[in-house]
């Protein structure tokens, strides 16, 4: 009770004439995470990209009986590489049989390649890419034209060349590099880390969809999915070069779990990798396109999509998607941002619960009727909490304050109608969870009856 009183007094001192002043955020970085960020190897990423290119194609329906060509050889190599990173990684195939449908022209065995690094808790943080490839007649550049809807895409033989070095060898190489670094780190993470190489993305996100369906059925606690798809090229097809930023897409609405995850990636990714700008894009993906993170969104999981800053559409979904079209140095920067965000998430406590068992937000105007009174359920491992707020029209948090190990706080004479509030859990070492925002429930609309 005394701790709560001190929080009320602190907030009251910060509220003056309707103007909110926030305390400076803690800037200390975890030296262990700094060390991991420094272990990302540009040379290893390049070697992985070159190896993936040697399989000729990784089309979901390509050869499975050749030791050197097609998706069968590619997935076995990925599996063996992950196994070779050490005994802490639990490597397996996540296998399904997809019936003939849509772009799947025959019944097909589909295998996601999955590596699990167990943590102290079952909650899961995913880093992912897709290892399958596709080539379409005319490539993605032609599909971007006005004739896109005039005729369906035409696909050559599944065993024809589709090297897919950027789409999405880059995401796979990044995922594998992080699996190596995390599994050999010697760090005891709170969350379980999952490194997932999806299949059948090019046929409609099928590998990710099947795993997300299974996760719902098995009640797997997936806290976050960091999906990387086309993240290795710094030179756009229009000649514009940008090797200093990465786009992160997240579905709405404004305070959805995925939007909060995107804000977290920007906040912590740029603290550990300040030379790389994380650009948040407020849409689920690029215009009229999609990626595996959307499959997880569809089943209620927080997931974001990483995309390179400048795409070269003339190489995508085309035999020209080769090693010459990527920049390992740029890919390494994107890997470092992913690593910083995933490590901070995995070390931090779970985010606080800010709703009742019936889903009502635990925020009100007590005690005066004109205050902001916030309550939350304690997070395991939390030593303190950080409260965030912003103007309701704003897109990102504007103010923040670290409070003690309490489960409520009051901001005096502050209208909750004009501001958005959220709270994050912080452990003793300063690792911070994703923010849990207070969101007003959507009211049911009753039809007005007339005579």
Give the other-Cβ count within 10 Å of 370's Cβ.
Answer: 12
Enter the tokens of residue 132.
């399958």
What 3-state DSSP class applies to 278? strand
Enter the tokens of residue 137.
């007649």
CA distance 353 to 84: 39
Q: Are 58 and 52 in contact (CB under 8 A)?
A: yes
Q: Are 250 and 264 in contact (CB under 8 A)?
A: no
Main-chain phi, psi angles of 37, to 5 degrees: -55, -40
> Percent of the chain beyond pLDDT 90?
83
Partners of 145 in the β-ladder = none
Q: Please name the residues in contact with 444: beta carbons below 8 A apart, sequence gap of 6 or more.
A: none
CA distance 83 to 184: 12
Main-chain phi, psi angles of 450, to 5 degrees: -125, 160
Q: Pairing state of beta strands 124-130 and 222-228?
A: parallel
pLDDT band for position 5 (50/70/90)?
very low
The mean per-residue pLDDT over the stretch 29-34 comes to: 97
Main-chain phi, psi angles of 356, to 5 degrees: -75, 175
Enter the tokens of residue 201.
């993305």
Least confident of 47-61, 81-95, 130-144: 130-144
The 10s digit of each residue's pLDDT in 177-228 is: 999 999 999 999 999 999 999 999 999 999 999 999 999 999 999 999 999 9
Q: Please name the residues in contact with 164: beta carbons below 8 A apart, sequence gap of 6 or more.
A: 52, 57, 58, 132, 133, 134, 321
Strand residues in 276-369 grouped as ranges (E): 277-281, 303-308, 363-364
CA distance 13 to 423: 19
CA distance 153 to 135: 10
The 10s digit of each residue's pLDDT in 266-291 is: 999 999 999 999 999 999 988 888 89
The 10s digit of each residue's pLDDT in 400-422 is: 999 999 999 999 999 999 999 99
CA-based nearest residue to 175, from 208, 198, 202, 201: 198
């Amino acid at each position: 009770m005394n701790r709560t009183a001190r929080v009320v007094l602190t907030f009251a001192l910060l509220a003056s004439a309707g103007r909110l002043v926030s305390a400076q955020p803690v800037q200390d970085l975890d030296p262990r995470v700094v060390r991991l960020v420094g272990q990302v190897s540009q040379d290893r990423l390049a070697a992985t990209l070159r190896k993936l290119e040697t399989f000729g194609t990784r089309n979901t329906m390509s050869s499975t009986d050749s030791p050197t060509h097609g998706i069968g050889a590619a997935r076995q190599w990925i599996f063996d590489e992950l196994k070779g990173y050490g005994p802490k990684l639990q490597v397996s195939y996540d296998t399904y049989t997809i019936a003939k449908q849509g772009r799947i022209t025959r019944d097909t065995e589909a295998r996601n390649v999955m590596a699990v690094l167990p943590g102290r808790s079952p909650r899961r943080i995913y880093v992912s890419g897709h290892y399958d490839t596709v080539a379409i007649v005319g490539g993605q550049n032609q599909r971007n034209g006005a004739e896109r809807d005039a005729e369906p895409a035409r696909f050559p033989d599944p065993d024809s060349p589709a090297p897919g070095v950027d789409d999405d060898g880059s995401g796979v190489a990044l995922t594998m590099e992080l699996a190596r670094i995390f599994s050999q780190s010697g760090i005891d993470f709170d969350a379980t880390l999952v490194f997932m190489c999806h299949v059948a993305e090019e046929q409609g996100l099928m590998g990710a969809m099947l795993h997300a369906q299974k996760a719902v059925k098995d009640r797997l606690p997936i806290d976050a999915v960091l999906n990387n798809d086309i993240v290795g090229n710094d030179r756009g097809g229009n000649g514009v070069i940008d090797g200093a930023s990465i786009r992160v897409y997240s579905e709405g609405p404004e305070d959805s779990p995925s939007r909060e995850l995107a804000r977290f990636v920007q906040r912590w990714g740029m603290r550990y990798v300040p030379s790389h700008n994380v650009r948040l894009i407020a849409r689920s993906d690029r215009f009229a396109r999609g990626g595996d993170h959307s499959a997880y969104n569809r089943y209620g999981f927080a997931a974001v999509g990483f995309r390179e800053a400048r795409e070269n559409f003339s190489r995508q979904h085309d035999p020209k998607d080769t090693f010459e079209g990527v920049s390992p140095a740029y890919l390494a920067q994107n890997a470092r941002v992913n690593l910083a965000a995933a490590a901070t998430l995995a070390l931090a406590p779970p985010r606080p619960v800010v709703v009742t068992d019936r889903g009502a937000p635990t925020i009100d105007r007590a005690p005066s009727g004109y205050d902001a009174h916030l309550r939350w359920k304690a997070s395991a491992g939390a030593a303190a909490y950080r409260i965030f707020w912003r103007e309701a029209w704003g897109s990102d948090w504007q103010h923040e304050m670290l409070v003690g190990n309490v489960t409520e706080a009051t901001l005096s004479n502050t209208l909750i109608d004009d501001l958005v509030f959220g709270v994050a859990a912080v452990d003793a070492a300063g690792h911070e969870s994703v923010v849990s925002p207070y969101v007003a429930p959507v009211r049911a609309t009753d039809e007005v009856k007339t005579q």
